[in-house]
Amino acid sequence: MNEYIIGLDYGSASARGVLLDIATGQEVASHVHDYRHGTLTKSLPDGTPLPRSWALQVADDYLAAARDILGRIGNGKRVRSIGLGFTASSPLPCRADGTPLDRIAPHAPHAYVKLWKHGAAQPQAERISAMGGPWLDNFNGKVSGEWLMAKAAQIAEEAPDIWAQTDRFIEGGDWLVWQLTGVQARGLGFAAYKAQFQDGRGYPDVGIPGMAARLTDPLPVGSPAGDLTDEWLADAGIIGPCTVAVAVIDSHVVLPAVGAASAGTFVAALGTSAGAMMIDDQPPRLPKGIEGVAFNGALRDLWCYEAGQASFGDTLAWFVEAFPNGSTPAESFANYEAEARQIPAGANRLLALDWWNGNRVPHARSDLSGMILGLNMQTTSVDVYRALIEALCYGMRLMHDLFADGGFEIGQVIMTSGLASRNALLIQTMADVLGREIIVPEIANATAVGAAIHGAVASAIVSDYADGAARFGARSSRKVTPDMTAHATYDQLFQSYRALVADPVLQGTMRKLREI
C-alpha cells in the first residue's frame, strides 16, 4: 500500500490540506475548508456586539476544518505524518483538558480566539514594552499588540472572570495539535516569536497574574508532538500510526517547500498579510526595526529573522470590495490589474502607506493606519489601485533594506504564495521597486506542502529539511527581472515613503483619529 504525508495550512479565512505521496513526492489530493464563522469583527455568533479593532475566531471551526480535510484527503490512506502551519499570533484561553472557553462562555468576547489581526491589545503591548529588560533584546525593545502576551494582558485586565477560568493560554496551532494528539506540545516558533520564550530564560514575567501557570515549555520545529489519536484515525478513515509534528507559524512553515533552507536567503510569503524572513547561520544581530529573531523556531540549526506587513492581500481585497471594477471580485481584480499595467511607474502621482491593518516594521503598532498622498480631481480608481500595489512593494523593500543596512548579504530573494504566482503586476512591481531579481517557486499550495515537510522531518521520513525540500518541495521556479528605468523612478518615491514612515507627527495624527 502506498504511504503518504499530509500538510495542513490554517490561514485567516480558511484551512487547506494536501496529500503527498512519499514515494514520488507528488501532491495527489488537496482540499480547502472555509471557517463556518469566518472572522468575528462586528459581533459574536449570538449577536453580542464587538468594539472596534476586534478580530476573533471560533476554536471549534478549526476542528471542523480538520475533520473535513483529513476525511476527504486521508480516508483509506496510510498516512505516516501530519504537519501543521497556523496563522499567528492567534491565541485562545482554554481549560486544563483543552476545552476552549468560547464553548463555556459563548457570550463573552474574551473567551474566543484572538486572531492575529485583533488590534485592541495595543495599550497592553505598550505597557509591556515600557517594562524593558534583556528579554526584549531579540525584539528591538518592544512587543506587538498582535502577540500573545499583550492579548493575555488584555483578558486579565478587561475580563478577570474569564482569565480566572483560563488554565492554559495557547496559540491556535498548538491547541489544534493538542486536540489531534491528546498531547499538549507547543512549538518553539510560536513561543519564541509571539511570547518571547528564550532557552535558559523561559517566558518573561510581564506582570500578568498567573501567566506562568498558563504556559508550557515548547519543542523545536520538526519535533513530534505525538500520534494522531485512535478517535481521529477512525473519524478520518486514516490508516496509522500517524505522527503529528508541533505546529509552526504559517509564514515560516513554507520555507522548505520553496527551497529556502540555507543562510543568506530573504523570503517573503505574500498572503492576507505578508511575512518576510531572513535566514542566517551566524549569532543574532538584529537590525533596527525588524520584529524579532529566534533559533530553531523556523528551521533546525538556523536563525530566522522575522518581519512582515500586517495587511497585504487584505489591502487589495478591501479596495476591490469597496470600489468594484467588475461584476465579481475576480473580474474586478483582473480588470484593475490589466488597466493598472498601462500606467508607467510614477505616472499616477500618488504615494501610499501600506498600514491598512497597522504597522509591523518598523513601529510594531496596530493603531497606525493607511494613507494615500497626492489625490486630486484627475485621480482614478485605477491610479489608487496601482498606488496600493506600489505601497505594498515599498513596505517589502523597507524590510529588505533594513537587513542589507544591517550587514546581511542577501544572496537571493524568494517570494511565494498565490499572490506571487497569480498577480503579475504585483510581482513585477516588486522586482522594479527592489531593483533586483525575484525567484518565484512554481509549486501549488506551498504553505501546506511546507507543513507536510515539517511532519516528514518529525517522523524521520526525511533526514532533515534539505532532504525534505529536495523530495517534496518546488522542482522549478521562474525569475522576474527588474525594469531598471522603473526602478530609478521608484527609488525616488521610496525615499519619500521612508520619510513618511519616520514622521512622528503623522503617526500621532493616525493614533488620534482612532481615538475619536
Q: In which band, very low, low, confident or very high, does the pLDDT at 106 lie, cut at 50, 70 and 90?
A: very high
Nearest to 372 by CA among 401, 400, 392: 392
Q: What are the tens digits of pLDDT across the range 238-259? A: 999 999 999 999 999 999 999 9
The answer to whether the CB of 416 falls within 8 A of the CB of 270 is yes
| pLDDT value at 121 more than 90 | yes
Task: Check whether 418 has a pLDDT greater than 90.
Answer: no
Average pLDDT over residues 262-266: 91
Tell me the three cell numbers of residue 509: 495624527
500-508 contacts: CB < 8 A, separation 24 or more?
Answer: 500/351, 500/353, 500/371, 500/373, 501/353, 501/362, 501/398, 506/371, 507/363, 507/365, 507/368
Instruction: State the pLDDT confidence band at 90, using cuts at 50, 70 and 90.
Output: very high
pTM equals 0.95
Whether 514 shows a pLDDT value over 90: the answer reads no
SS3 content of the chain, % helix, strand, coil (to 5): 40, 20, 40
Angstrom distance (rounded) from CA 374 to CA 493: 12
Q: How far apart are CA 483 and CA 318, in angstroms?
A: 28
- Helix ranges restricted to H, 187-346: 188-195, 230-236, 250-253, 313-322, 329-340
* Distance of alpha carbon 155 from alpha carbon 345, whole angstroms: 46
Strands 78-86 and 248-249: parallel
Q: Which helix (H) or strand (E) holds 223?
A: none
Say whether the peptide bond before residue 100 is cis (omega within 30 degrees of 0): no
**272 CB-contact burial (10 Å; exposed 0-12 / middle 13-18 / buried 19+):** buried
Region 333-358: mean pLDDT is 97
Query: Is 90 exceeded by the pLDDT of residue 515?
Result: no
The predicted-structure confidence for 482-513, as pLDDT tens digits, reads as follows 999 999 999 999 999 999 999 999 999 999 99
SS3 for 73-98, per residue? HHCCCEEEEEEEEECCCCEEEECCCC
Q: What is residue 97's predicted lDDT score, i.e. its pLDDT?
A: 98
| Average pLDDT score, the chain | 96
Residue type (1 letter), 357: N
Mean pLDDT of the 202-217 span? 97
The arithmetic mean of pLDDT across residues 1-11, rounded, is 96
Residues 2-13 as b/e (b if ≥16 CB within 10 A, e otherwise) read eebbbbbbbbbe
25: left (phi over 0), alpha (psi -120 to 50) or beta: left
Q: What is the pLDDT of residues 295-307, one digit of tens each?
A: 999 999 999 999 9
Determine the pLDDT at residue 62. Answer: 98
pLDDT at 493: 98
Go through the domains of the chain in sequence order and give each one's CATH number.
3-251 (3.30.420.40), 259-443+476-516 (3.30.420.40)
DSSP characters over 185-202: -EEHHHHHHHH--BTTTB
Q: What is the mean pLDDT of residues 112-118?
A: 97
Q: Give the span between the Cα atoms of 311 and 229, in whole angstroms.
A: 37
How much is the pLDDT for 96? Answer: 98
Helix (H) or strand (E) holding 277: strand 274-280
**Which amino acid, residue 275?**
G
pLDDT at 417 over 90: no
**Residue 20 pLDDT grade (very low, low, confident, very high; cuts 50, 70, 90):** very high
What backbone phi and psi angles, to 5 degrees, belong to 49?
-70, 150
Res 283: pLDDT: 85
Residue 261 has pLDDT above 90, yes or no: no
Summarize the confidence of residues 332-342 as an average pLDDT: 97
**Which pLDDT score is estimated for 405?**
95
Dist. CA 12–CA 115, nearest whole Å: 8
Percent of the chain surpassing pLDDT 70: 100
